[in-house]
Structure 1
Amino acid sequence: MTGTPDTALVPFVSLPDEIRLLARTQGERAALVCDGETVSYAAFDTFVDRCAAALQRDGVAPRDVVAICAQGSIAYAVAFVGALRAGAAVAPLSPTAHPDSLAGMIANAGAGLVFLDAEVQKALAAAAAPPAVRTVRLDTKTGQDAFDSWLAPAGTVPEPVAIQPEWAFNIIYSSGTTGMPKGIVQSHAMRFAYAHRSISRGYGPGAVTLISTPLYSNTTLVSFFPTLGLGGTVVLMPKFDTKRYLELAQQHRATHTMLVPVQYRRLLADPDFDRYDLTSFQSKSCTSAPFAADLKAEVVRRWPGTLTEFYGMTEGGASCELRAEEHPGKLHTVGQPMPGHEMRLIDPEGRELPPGSIGEVVGRSPTMMTGYYGQPDKTAEAEWYDATGERFIRTGDIGRFDEDGFLVLMDRKKDMIISGGFNIYPSDLEQVIVEHPDVIEAAVVGVGSERWGETPVAFVTLREGAALEPPSLMAWANERLGKMQRLAAVVVVDALPRSAIGKVLKRDLREGFGRGLA
């Protein structure tokens, strides 16, 4: 399936140069707000200059890599854009990564300098092979390695760097739920194209974007950089909290936000949600995890402004867009391919499938990754080429297109359960289980079975005060499921394990379940 071509032709300007221009044209406007501190575009540009000059002083050259691993803050934003202004690529890393994994990512990126905080500094020291890199602390204003002390003196201007569109902007590392994380390289051209496409959703000088997801995640960066590059204001929440989110949204008259499904669910479940004035919202977005149709409908009904779901990968390939208000009958889908994006379906042997089939989703677009950093073999595994030699990125997701060209996702390829030779899609089972009035969420995984090879097990969270017992829920669900779909067990948990951006960690559920079932 192909989206309508994107015909907008805008001359490339790098993000640091856009920030420079904004500092001159709207210098007094707030660029960043965090923990009660506000930084104007003029002040932000000055800090970025000092950071870029300090990096150049320390030997960081264009196309080198700088890593950042810390909680979101104004200093984090300065370090990120400062590194870009020096011509370097940035590897934003998760502070929650295992120390050995963190050290491995720094080594893979070839970063010679890491911006971090006290917790990450301690974690790196505990790694099996601590990296021999310079570190700068973003969370303190005192000490030799403190960010403020490390910055070049006020008024310092860096040597100008002519940033090229094809240069690496950032290296985003995958979550690592299936092994060592892979570094996904995205170019300046890709970030520029995405930011300017965001104008259609109201990003610009009047935008106030409330951000509550981590800055190392592409989920966050797709709203963070369009806001800054187009002259809006970013309100940063270092840690998500429902009450604080609603307070900040009302206080700053937020117009835009990108949240993951679990955050939408928690916000709407807050007993005070409807008391807050959220009428300033123009555009709300969601990505990164399955977004239930009933939850989308509730967001549309109770929260002003448009709701857009995006489906895609950090690797690029292609993305789908679902504008919920415009397509109330398609909330079970993830929408249609975006302008300039193309998607196809392939079978396990890599053969393209005809319309109406179920298969693995592959896609191509102007926002495809260059490749996995330093891992050409992994890059090749992620690519698929059609008969004409066009390059596509494999998503690992199984889906089908309906008669109107909307993509219906079945499941992750690696999460599909093969039981007795039959393919079972966990999402089909999860959809049935959450119809029970006492169930909030469900995640189904396949566990080993001597008889079937694999068999489905459901992990569920229940509504407060519910007295539902696992055997009763299993019997209720199995009455509504097909013979080959029936659950072998139900496990009630307080919460489903999730990554920092809300993805359910099904591998943790499988491993935690223990031995297989007969």
Structure 2
Amino acid sequence: NLVNNSRFIGDRMQLTSNDTLCCPPPLFHCFGLTLGLLATVTHGGRIVYPAESFDPVATLHAISDERCTALHGVPAMMEAIVDLPKPEGWTSELRTGIVAGSPVPKWLMERMVNELGMMDFTSSYGLTEASPTVFNAHTTDTLHARLTTVGTVMPHARVKIVDRENRVVPIGVRGELCVAGYQLCRGYWENPEKTAELLVQDEQGEQWLHTGDEAVLDVDGYCTITGRFKDIIIRGGENIYPLEIEERLVQHPAIARAIVVGISHPRYVEVPVAFLALEDGVRRPDLEEVKQWVRKILGRHKAPTQVFWLGEDCAADVPLTGSGKVKKFVLRAVAEDLVNK
């Protein structure tokens, strides 16, 4: 399952024996192992590890010094890389690579193209239980498709989108993404309860992995990941999608980064709040200005009820998992504490 998945990944990237892949993601994670090491091996390429753990400065030097043509990373890694000033004499031969691991904002993909030269980057979606890649864009897909979707389903994988009653939803309707095929894991080690919860057989005996991710498919088979089921904020019975709010917030000229989580509320059950990073050298907008910015496009109910500025109201460093994903459950607890002070 890992070898075949890595072969299909390299094919989508148009990886060749002439390519050198810069791979900051760790080898203990499927991103670094399958999309990185094994994809390079199955295509006869060369792989570069910039440092023992993620170091954006070392990564920038490796891209230039080793004349890398491909770069892998999760969104938090890519953001750290593009935010750094380029070292003296820096050049880039980057053309492709994969950004994955969590929903990727369009503004970050645009910076990867414009500032790093990754014109042939591919968006991707996967999870360890599926070896990991389920969807991946082609380098030949339009830039719009690669900016707004995670591409089409990988060879020999099958997918469906279901509602909370496990009914398949129509094309264009959001629901939980489920996966079947050769690449699924057998189960969770010594955890039969978790295995039974997420690996479910249908009436035909097909085993489906319930990913816990919310997604939507279009008529051409392109998939957009709209968030985690558990991250969806249910305000007064209405679903609110954090990624949608985050993408609107970072369009504000004073906001460099946005992370939206839900906290408890006595009337609405949950409401959105935002952790924001301020752009250098600009005036900090007040809460009402931030709310108005969101309301203008998304509506009143999606505006954050509270804003916490990173480095001022709370710590500057965002808590991350070992694979570079934001620990939203930690930020949710921080927000609850700040509100209840």
How do residues 338-417 of structure 1 correspond to structure 2 at under 5 angstroms?
Answer: 338-417=154-233
| CA displacement 1:364-389 (0-9 Å, x = unmatched) | 23211121111122111112333322
1:512 to 319, 334, 338: 334
1:492 — aligned with what? 309
- Cα distance change on mapping 1:437 and 1:275 into 2, 3 Å: farther
- Give the Cα separation in 1 of the matches to 2:2 and 2:221: 27
- Give the Cα separation in 1 of the matches to 2:218 and 2:244: 16
| CA displacement 1:242-273 (0-9 Å, x = unmatched) | 33222222222223331112222222222327
How do residues 63-102 of structure 1 correspond to structure 2 at under 5 angstroms?
Answer: none
- Cα distance change on mapping 1:273 and 1:262 into 2, 3 Å: farther
Q: Does 1:432 find its partner at 2:248?
A: yes
Q: Bigger CA drift: 338-347 or 224-233?
A: 224-233
- Give the Cα separation in 2 of the matches to 1:338 and 1:228: 19
RMSD, matched Cα: 2.3
- Cα distance change on mapping 1:247 and 1:391 into 2, 3 Å: same
- Give the Cα separation in 2 of the matches to 1:259 and 1:347: 31
Q: Does 1:210 find its partner at 2:22?
A: yes
- Give the Cα separation in 2 of the matches to 1:485 and 1:478: 7
Q: Name the larger-Rg structure.
A: 1
DSSP-derived class of the 1:514 partner: helix
How do residues 226-241 of structure 1 correspond to structure 2 at under 5 angstroms?
Answer: 226-228=39-41, 230-236=43-49, 237-241=51-55
- Give the Cα separation in 2 of the matches to 1:209 and 1:245: 11
- Cα distance change on mapping 1:465 and 1:497 into 2, 3 Å: farther
DSSP-derived class of the 2:110 partner: helix
Does the CA-based 8 Å contact 2:10-2:40 persist in structure 1?
no
The Cα of 1:225 is off from its aligned counterpart by 2.5
| CA displacement 1:281-332 (0-9 Å, x = unmatched) | 3531111122111221232234145201110111118611124662222212
1:248 — aligned with what? 62
The Cα of 1:397 is off from its aligned counterpart by 1.0
Q: Does 1:301 find its partner at 2:108?
A: no
- Give the Cα separation in 2 of the matches to 1:488 and 1:362: 33
- Give the Cα separation in 2 of the matches to 1:372 and 1:284: 30
- Give the Cα separation in 1 of the matches to 2:303 and 2:152: 32
- Cα distance change on mapping 1:324 and 1:485 into 2, 3 Å: farther
DSSP-derived class of the 1:315 partner: helix
Does the CA-based 8 Å contact 2:9-2:136 persist in structure 1?
no
Does the CA-based 8 Å contact 1:318-1:342 persist in structure 2?
no
- Give the Cα separation in 2 of the matches to 1:501 and 1:476: 32
List alignment gaps of at least 5 residues for structure 1. Answer: 1-189
2:32 — aligned with what? 220
- Cα distance change on mapping 1:275 and 1:373 into 2, 3 Å: same
Identity %: 28
- Give the Cα separation in 1 of the matches to 2:154 and 2:219: 17
How do residues 269-308 of structure 1 correspond to structure 2 at under 5 angstroms?
Answer: 269-272=83-86, 276-279=90-93, 281-302=94-115, 303-304=117-118, 306-308=120-122
1:477 — aligned with what? 294
Does the CA-based 8 Å contact 1:443-1:459 persist in structure 2?
yes
List alignment gaps of at least 5 residues for structure 2. Answer: 311-315
Give the TM-score of the pair, scaled to structure 1.
0.59
Length, aligned pairs only: 327
DSSP-derived class of the 2:320 partner: coil
1:419 — aligned with what? 235
Q: Bigger CA drift: 226-235 or 501-510?
A: 226-235
Match for 2:123: what amino acid? E
Does the CA-based 8 Å contact 2:319-2:327 persist in structure 1?
yes
1:195 — aligned with what? 6
- Give the Cα separation in 2 of the matches to 1:227 and 1:329: 27
Does the CA-based 8 Å contact 2:226-2:241 persist in structure 1?
yes
Q: Bigger CA drift: 304-313 or 360-369?
A: 304-313
Does the CA-based 8 Å contact 1:227-1:234 persist in structure 2?
yes
Match for 1:474: what amino acid? K
How do residues 54-133 of structure 1 correspond to structure 2 at under 5 angstroms?
Answer: none
2:71 to 234, 239, 257: 257
Match for 2:306: what amino acid? A
- Give the Cα separation in 2 of the matches to 1:480 and 1:315: 37
Does the CA-based 8 Å contact 2:124-2:133 persist in structure 1?
no
1:502 — aligned with what? 324
- Give the Cα separation in 2 of the matches to 1:202 and 1:447: 43
DSSP-derived class of the 2:137 partner: strand
Give the TM-score of the pair, scaled to structure 2.
0.87
- Give the Cα separation in 2 of the matches to 1:402 and 1:230: 31
Does the CA-based 8 Å contact 2:61-2:87 persist in structure 1?
no
- Give the Cα separation in 2 of the matches to 1:198 and 1:338: 8
Does the CA-based 8 Å contact 1:319-1:338 persist in structure 2?
yes
| CA displacement 1:435-483 (0-9 Å, x = unmatched) | 1011122111111100111111111112112321441323432344323
- Give the Cα separation in 2 of the matches to 1:341 and 1:509: 34
Match for 1:431: what amino acid? E
